[in-house]
Amino acid sequence: MNCDLRSALTEKIDNLNKPKGSLGRLEELALQIGLIQGTLSPTLNHPCHLLLGADHGIEREGVSVSPREVTWQQMVNFTQGGGGVNMFCRQHGFCLQLVDVGVDHDLTDHPTIMNKKVRMHGSGNILYEPAMTEEETDLCLTIGRQLVDDCYREGCNIISIGEMGIGNTSPSSLWMSLLLDIPLQQCVGAGAGLNNEGILHKLDILEKCQTRFLTAHPQWTPLLVLQELGGLEMATAVGAMLRAAELHMVVLVDGFIMSACALMASRLSPQFMPCAIFCHVGDEKGHRLMLQGMGVRPLLSLGLKLGEGTGALCAYPIVESAVRMLNEMNNFHDAKITKYF
């Protein structure tokens, strides 16, 4: 950590013409972004949003109220500009990239969806088998890194990531339980709208998944959790997050699934967390507990549970305000205002 830069940023923030600390979280964000970019005058350039689509074998076990065809149907809807993610990207000036890494449908008739399929029919059913092979895991991580490299070459220095994959709260709950050592019961929620009976069934299925994994791998590693109990779009998101941190980009973290990916990224690289801004806490049962376990505070609490990265996009204006504060507010000296603290 650059202690001199931290001191200089803190001094600059404290000398803006306002009471010290009076802009609260904006001051914290300004400091964080200045440290990420290594400058007293950070900027937000060419924001990009990666929307990663894939299906999950565990969906076959009735862990979601939505059938898997909703994944490809929504991906097509996104190409027509009709999704929540489309609206927020338009509103906040994000470049939206749609990426198929394992949707169980042929989407090649939709040229605006980038074809990066790692598996034709989605991840394996983690009740019985690993989600991915080691080679497929490496490929997902590589694709995520390449997607970020492409954005970076276009001038992007702030990125958000969303997902479309029916059933992906299930692997997210398993990641949370194992990586934070939290009982699975506290990690499993309603997903897209399960009733109490459905949640109990989901918990039963995931407990069996966890038992299978721990029996086979009593000395597991985070990377093995990613491979065996993950999803194609989640592994790709982790790769993207890790590369963004290497490039000193700001990473806007969305809801439950993307927070699980951020948790995984933090276990794979200590570089990641300083670059991450956690944008909102959603309604999924374990999300608040996950964020607490990571020691982070979300910017928003709007009851969101759509996914797609929409919570991260909604938080962008707050992040922009923090940067504008640092760059555009006058200081006491130049404004000729008596500094009273």
Domain extents in the chain:
3-42+326-335, 48-319
pLDDT tens per residue, range 261-272: 999 999 999 999
334 vs 341: CA distance, rounded Å: 17
- CA angle, residues 114, 120, 125, in degrees to nearest 5: 125
pLDDT at position 110 is 97
Higher-confidence residue: 334 or 62? 62
Q: How confident is the model at residue 26 (pLDDT cuts 50, 70, 90)?
A: very high
pLDDT at 13 over 80: yes
Mean pLDDT, the chain, integer: 95
Q: Average pLDDT, stretch 214-242?
A: 98
pLDDT at position 219 is 96
The pair of structure tokens assigned to 308 is 């797609």
- Cβ atoms of 244 and 275 within 8 Å: the answer is yes
Give the ranges where the chain is alpha helix by DSSP (H): 3-14, 24-37, 69-79, 84-92, 134-153, 169-180, 196-216, 222-229, 232-246, 256-268, 287-294, 310-328, 332-335
Name residue 114's beta-bridge partners: 99
This prediction has a pTM of 0.96
pLDDT at 155 over 80: yes
- State the CATH architecture for 3-42+326-335: Orthogonal Bundle (1.10)
Q: Average pLDDT, stretch 128-140?
A: 98
pLDDT at position 49 is 98
pLDDT at 284 over 90: no
- Residue 276: its H or E element: strand 276-278
pLDDT at position 138 is 98
Could you list the active site residues? 308
- Residue 49: its H or E element: strand 48-54
Say how many Å lie between the first and final Cα of the chain, rounded: 28
- CB atoms < 10 A from the CB of 198, how many? 16
203 vs 277: CA distance, rounded Å: 30
pLDDT at position 227 is 98
Choosing among 1.10.1200.10, 3.40.50.10210, 1.10.3720.10, 3.90.226.10, the CATH entry for 48-319 is: 3.40.50.10210
- Structure letter (DSSP) for residue 302: -
Percent of the chain residues past pLDDT 70, beyond the cut: 99
pLDDT at position 1 is 55
pLDDT at position 283 is 84
pLDDT at position 158 is 98
Instruction: Give me the phi and psi of 329, to 5 degrees please.
Output: -75, 145
Q: How confident is the model at residue 42 (pLDDT cuts 50, 70, 90)?
A: very high
Query: Any idea which of 193-197, 228-232, 305-309, 334-338 has the lowest mean pLDDT?
Result: 334-338
